[in-house]
A and B are shown apart, each in its own frame.
Chain A
């Protein structure tokens, strides 16, 4: 149980393109989803916390207009990287928790490897 699907798994696109990444909880309802960015051999950097039906909470230094997050349903959150540039190339990974409790483990998607040319 507690499977999180992330799509696409990798994408290569030209600079200036906007890219949408989907994160779905397949067998549970996720009131909260998290979006992370991970550089090679580095830790997970939290970008934003996404709550169903409300605006995402962004971490300090993360541009809201650059990384648009939508969490319209209990099973889907999307991250759109707008006007992507080479410095946005990274591994983006989402996670979801099954309930509102802060003690819930995070279930991660497989990640999206984004390469901007």
Chain B
């Protein structure tokens, strides 16, 4: 079945440093979504990418979808303590009516 791998599993950064998490799918995706889950909370939708090579920005967050639509990345510029949490990618296979979540990358930011 479809597998979605996400790396790294954990990332510890100093406040102000950049952060990137990578998501790779074993199959071509129709779309990929990114979610953020704060400690003790539930996942919150951040963004969706649909087009090959698509790049979207939300303030300090930059999301990319690979040309082959099998990988994606989330980059945070100049991290802040409010960025802490676990970031999940969720890839939807063209032929399946569901999304498969990656294992998540847990970000901690040291002030």
Which A residues are closer than 8 A to B by beta carbons? 34, 41-46, 49, 60, 93, 95, 102-103, 105-111
- Whether A102 and B101, one on each chain, are in contact in the complex, defined by CB atoms closer than 8 angstroms, is no
Given A41-B106, A43-B103; A105-B45 close (CB under 8 Å): yes
Q: What residues on B are CB-neighbors of A49 within 8 Å?
A: 97-98
Q: What residues on A are CB-neighbors of B41 within 8 Å?
A: 110
- Whether B42 and A109, one on each chain, are in contact in the complex, defined by CB atoms closer than 8 angstroms, is yes
Q: Which of B45, B50, B97 lies in contact with A106, CB distance below 8 A?
A: B45
State the CA gap A41–B85 with chains docked (Å): 11
Does B63 sit at the interface, judged by CB under 8 A?
A: no
Chain A residues touching B, majority SS: loop
Nearest residue, chain B, Cβ from A105: B45
Chain B residues touching A, majority SS: strand
> Residues of B within 8 Å of A, CB-based: how many?
24
- Whether A102 and B30, one on each chain, are in contact in the complex, defined by CB atoms closer than 8 angstroms, is yes
Given A41-B106, A42-B103, A43-B104; A102-B92 close (CB under 8 Å): yes
State the CA gap A105–B43 with chains docked (Å): 11
Question: Closest Cβ of chain A: how far from B11's Cβ, in Å?
Answer: 14
Q: What residues on B are CB-neighbors of A34 within 8 Å?
A: 98
Nearest residue, chain B, Cβ from A41: B106
Nearest residue, chain B, Cβ from A106: B45
Question: Closest Cβ of chain A: how far from B21's Cβ, in Å?
Answer: 13
Q: What residues on B are CB-neighbors of A106 within 8 Å?
A: 33, 35, 43, 45, 90, 99
Query: What are some 30 contacts across the A-B interface (CB < 8 A)?
Result: A34-B98, A42-B103, A42-B104, A43-B88, A43-B101, A43-B102, A43-B103, A43-B104, A44-B43, A44-B88, A44-B101, A45-B101, A46-B99, A46-B101, A49-B98, A60-B1, A93-B43, A95-B43, A102-B30, A102-B92, A103-B31, A103-B48, A105-B33, A105-B45, A106-B33, A106-B99, A108-B42, A108-B43, A109-B42, A111-B42
